[in-house]
Amino acid sequence: MEVLETEIYLRYKQIIESQGVETSVLAGGESPAPRYTHMEDLLDRYDAFCFDGYGTLYNRGSFVYDGALDWYTMLRAAGKEMRLITNAASDVDSVLAADAGKRGFAFSEAETISSGSLLKDLVAELRGRTVESCRGVRHGVREVYYIGRETGKHVLEDCGIKAVAPAVEPIEPIVAISSAKDTPETYEQAVKILRRPGSMLLVLNSDAWAPKIPGDDGMTVREPVSGALSERLRRDSVCEANPAGCETYYLGKPFPAIWEKVKRSLPEGSRVLMVGDTLGTDVLGARVAGFDCALVVGRNVPADELEADEKALGIRPDYYL
């Protein structure tokens, strides 16, 4: 992992532990070493299978990873509960489900749980508070400065939030990030807003790094995404006028709120396996949820970095796929 990536996921872990959530049942030599296995060998061990989307089942455009549709077809045929658990906040759940369906993964809207879908509950909580800014006392979370894909504004609109124009400052000093679509100009504007007293940063997608589609040589390149952008903004928000920096709220994996929503959607007592490609969101998140987990190696965790990354984060899956 990159240094910043490690720091981000360790920060996530610290935040979760500060909320009284146990994350110590991880690696560090205390748990058995995971073994490489195949999905068919896990079929009878679990009642429900939760999948990350990008980097695990598919990637941008129409790209689908080898074997992913076989997993999906096999589990559907076996009558297993299935969920798509994604940190994508590029649109509302109905659209994310339809996009997965176009790739061959027919998850219903009810089976699709995204980080963006958690924004309504967070906004309801924030609207019950008083936000102090340099322009006085404001209430509402009605508009934000937004960086992300254009379709991500649908997530905001679903919560009654307007994204202001790129050159405009919102009345309240609030910035929302759903993907790393910043420019030098938008980054500078976001920092300016977040340096105001009482500022908030809403991280709609907590992923720090993500894999691109493999090239013609079969090699996978990883790139910093919204979580990395958000961390840079958080650090740059610290200034004389705002010495504590912005108040930051994270949505999605690995944080507890998304797992509570997943659990409510599953039959009580289900034996659950989370399948993903990222240690700091999918594996740590599964541990937070109390689920077993399987890591797809070689995408967001290069095989030759796996041992070092597990040691750095102190987390380890139950299986490697």
Model pLDDT, residue 136:
43
With 80 as the cut, is the pLDDT of residue 319 above it?
A: yes
pTM summary value: 0.92
151 — pLDDT class (breaks 50, 70, 90):
very high
* Class of domain 118-250 as given by CATH: alpha beta
Query: Can you spell out the DSSP letters for 71-93?
Result: HHHHHHHTT-EEEEEE---SS-H
Q: Please give the order of strands across the beta sheet that includes 174-177.
A: 162-163, 143-147, 174-177, 200-203, 247-250
Query: Is the backbone of residue 29 left (phi > 0), alpha (psi -120 to 50) or beta?
Result: left
User: Mean per-residue pLDDT for 107-135?
Assistant: 84
Are the beta carbons of 298 and 9 closer than 8 angstroms? Answer: no
Confidence of residue 30 (pLDDT cuts 50, 70, 90): low
Average pLDDT over residues 95-103: 97
Residue 156 sits at φ, ψ, to 5 deg, of -65, -45
Count of CB atoms situated within 10 Å of the CB of 28: 12
Q: Is the CB of residue 200 less than 8 Å from the CB of residue 131?
A: yes
Output the pLDDT for position 137: 42
| Strands 222-224, 48-51: pairing kind | unpaired
CATH value of 3-113+259-320 in 3.40.630.10, 2.60.40.10, 3.40.50.1000, 3.40.50.2000: 3.40.50.1000
Mark residue 140 as left, alpha or beta (left: phi above 0; alpha: psi -120 to 50; beta: remaining): left
pLDDT band at 21 (very low <50, low <70, confident <90, very high): confident
- Chain mean pLDDT for the chain: 92
DSSP code, position 117: G
Residue 253, pLDDT above cutoff 60: yes
Ranges of CATH 3.40.50.1000 domains, the chain: 3-113+259-320, 118-250
Tokens 């992913």 correspond to 68
Query: If pLDDT is split at 50, 70 and 90, which confidence band does 215 have?
Result: confident
Residues 232/177, Cβ–Cβ less than 8 Å: no
